[in-house]
Amino acid sequence: MAAVADDTRQKLAGISAGDMQFIENAVGLREAALEVTGLGPATFALVKIAALIALDAPPASYAWQIANALEEGVTPEDIVGTLFAVAPQVGGPRAIAAAAEITLTLGLSLPAQAE
């Protein structure tokens, strides 16, 4: 096992837990990437969520991207619309998995049969 510095351990713990400050520091190029795309902030945020759905991303990724999207004025309805838009391309299993992550990230409970 490798010797890991406490600072490195804290950074990894923060990123894996979805801590916004750790993530922003780790991949803080968000603003530069936004400028390069020419997209508006809300559209940029929805594109990022669509990519997470397509990648079958882990829960911490949804927490960060959805928080960013909501800050940019994206509504939960916009996020669900994005899920419906990409579902035919990504397939049912990824859409279902993403719906569960989005539900939890928005602070909602999963239906009893999905738990």
Query: Could you read off the pLDDT of 15-56 as tens digits, one per residue?
Result: 677 666 666 665 555 666 777 788 999 999 999 999 999 999
Residues 2-27: what's their mean pLDDT?
73
Q: How many CA atoms lie within 13 A of 7 on its CB side?
A: 1
Residue 107 within any structural domain of the chain: yes
Residue 29 within any structural domain of the chain: no
Overall domain count for the chain: 1
Residue 10 within any structural domain of the chain: no
User: Whole-model pTM?
Assistant: 0.74
Specify the higher pLDDT residue, 106 or 25: 106
pLDDT digits (tens, 9 = 90+) for 54-81: 999 998 889 889 998 999 999 999 999 9
CA 4 to chain centre: 27
| pLDDT at res. 72 | 94
pLDDT digits (tens, 9 = 90+) for 81-90: 999 999 999 9
Q: Residue 105 in contact with residue 59, Cβ under 8 Å? A: yes
Q: Residue 73 in contact with residue 66, Cβ under 8 Å? A: no
CA 51 to chain centre: 9
The range of the structural domain enclosing residue 45 comes to 37-114
> Which long-range CB contacts under 8 A does 15-20 form with residues at least 24 apart?
15/60, 16/60, 17/60, 18/59, 18/60, 18/61, 18/63, 18/64, 20/64, 20/67
